[in-house]
Amino acid sequence: MPSLEHAPEHTCGVGGRRELSAPRLRADTPERAGLDPVELGHMVGEVQALTAGDRPWAAGAVVLAGRGPVIAVAEAAGWAVRYASYDPETDTGVELPPTARVPVTVGTPFDLASLTKLFTSVAAVQQIERGTLGMNARIGDYLPDFRAAAAYGITVRQLLTHTSGLRPDLPLYECPDDEARMAMLRAEAPTAEPGTYLYSDLNMLLLQCVLERLTGRTLDLLVQDGITRPLGMTATAFGPCPGAAATEDQRRPWAKADRGLLRGVVHDENAWALGGVAGHAGLFSTARDLAVFCRALLAGGSYGPARILGPDFVELLFAPPGLGFALDQPWFMGELAGRGAAGHTGFTGTSLVLDPATDTFLVLLANTVHPRRRPPDSRPRASLGTHLARAVI
């Protein structure tokens, strides 16, 4: 297995209380982690297969898995940049010459897509811990100008649990300027009865507005100062991120905007329209940085000498139905699901799962949308989760 101590990492862009030091991650053998090397070998083989052939599941991928403070698998396969464009006539990517392709390394940053929601959620729970934000408070108390949502009494808890009733998204990318985009958000009322589960990017956009109004600071600074800087996650930031894996040749009609081949700028059209910093999408990161994030949460909010949350508030994140985090979802967690596993997926091909019951974590970064988006297929994610679950000794 590659050693992460010497893995190259790109830095994208530019707190924490000091307490007793929690163990830092280190690369070691599966046996030292209490994991079956044969089962992890199957995991590595699958990732290599997922990036092979003329129509791979992803052009490139990185898988990182471990238990406790030990990283037992860190494998990169395929290409960060494989295609120059997408050809709709042949429904294939236009391959770059081999010498022009960019291989994936363990340190390659990826567009996290909806994994960004986890960082927005942690930033919100940090404010709840400080007593500046009320879990059951109505967002109208913080955003009185968001009259449509305020009229329905939508709460902070409903935003965090996707039970506000707001529709999945809005075409903010069609608005001519920021003022028009904010006016659209302010005018948006629930389409379902509040209390009804309906997964929506708008929940995290409104939560971002609450946090920024409450603190007087932008979300990128809240994430940087409250999460990534204290944890030493130097490769995690909102874009642009020039060294990132490429995503889509973004053109209509399959996309919502005509932006060409994207690399290092956010794939999500609404996040792009909002300047790249959004509550639902926009972060770039590496597998090792995300492993640190997982490790901190599994350790009750601590990593090394830093603490980003108290243990009670980490438990609050993972208490059913989960705050921002999805809980026990076999469709992308496989057999890790069932005992309180928490995680999320991202549209670009990303996912992470952490399982407090076995103290394991699994990070998968992939660019499944390179060179163009396709119907999502999470079976590979679930299969990798099953391999990790079965590897636990």
The CATH number that applies at residue 201 is 1.20.58.710
Q: Give yes or no: residues 209 and 149 share one domain.
A: yes
Would you tell me how many other CB atoms lie within 10 Å of the CB of residue 96? 16
Q: Give yes or no: residues 113 and 197 share one domain.
A: no
Q: Give yes or no: residues 264 and 377 share one domain.
A: yes
Q: Give yes or no: residues 208 and 230 share one domain.
A: no
- Counted residue by residue, the chain has a size of 393
The first and second tokens of residue 175, run together, are 């608005």
Q: 27 near 3, Cβ under 8 Å?
A: yes
| Count of domains observed in the chain | 2
The first and second tokens of residue 365, run together, are 């970064």
Per-residue pLDDT of the chain (393 residues; tens, 9 = 90+): 333 333 334 445 434 444 456 789 999 999 999 999 999 999 999 999 999 999 999 999 999 999 999 999 999 999 999 999 999 999 999 999 999 999 999 999 999 999 999 999 999 999 999 999 999 999 999 999 999 999 999 999 999 999 999 999 999 999 999 999 999 999 999 999 999 999 999 999 999 999 999 999 999 999 999 999 999 999 999 999 999 999 999 999 999 999 999 999 999 999 999 999 999 999 999 999 999 999 999 999 999 999 999 999 999 999 999 999 999 999 999 999 999 999 999 999 999 999 999 999 999 999 999 999 999 999 999 999 999 999 998
Would you tell me how many other CB atoms lie within 10 Å of the CB of residue 242? 12
Average pLDDT of every residue of the chain: 94
Residue 12 has a pLDDT of 54
Measure the CA–CA gap between 17 and 30, rounded to whole angstroms: 32
Q: What is the pLDDT of residues 203-215, one digit of tens each?
A: 999 999 999 999 9
Measure the CA–CA gap between 248 and 176, rounded to whole angstroms: 23
Q: Give yes or no: residues 203 and 285 share one domain.
A: no
For the domain that residue 235 is a member of, what is the CATH number? 3.40.710.10
Domain boundary residue, one of 196, 219, 242:
219
Give the residue from 337, 338, 349, 339 showing the smallest Cα distance to 380: 349
Phi-psi region of 298 (alpha: psi -120 to 50; beta: other; left: phi over 0): alpha
Q: Give yes or no: residues 237 and 290 share one domain.
A: yes
Domain boundary residue, one of 219, 241, 261:
219
CA distances from 105 to 40, 76, 232, 393 (A): 19, 5, 20, 29
Q: Fill in the amino acid letter for 379.
A: R
Measure the CA–CA gap between 187 and 175, rounded to whole angstroms: 14
Would you tell me how many other CB atoms lie within 10 Å of the CB of residue 127? 18
Please, which contacts does 185-191 make with residues 24 or more away whose CB atoms are closer than 8 Å?
185/146, 185/209, 186/145, 186/146, 186/147, 186/148, 187/147, 187/148, 188/148, 188/149, 189/148, 189/149, 189/151, 189/152, 190/149, 190/152, 190/154, 190/164, 190/165, 190/166, 191/165, 191/166, 191/167
Q: Give yes or no: residues 245 and 343 share one domain.
A: yes
Q: What is the pLDDT of residues 12-35, one digit of tens each?
A: 543 444 445 678 999 999 999 999
For residue 201, the enclosing domain spans 121-219
Q: Give yes or no: residues 131 and 256 share one domain.
A: no
Measure the CA–CA gap between 190 and 23, rounded to whole angstroms: 44
Would you tell me how many other CB atoms lie within 10 Å of the CB of residue 309? 24
Which H or E element spans position 273?
A: helix 269-273
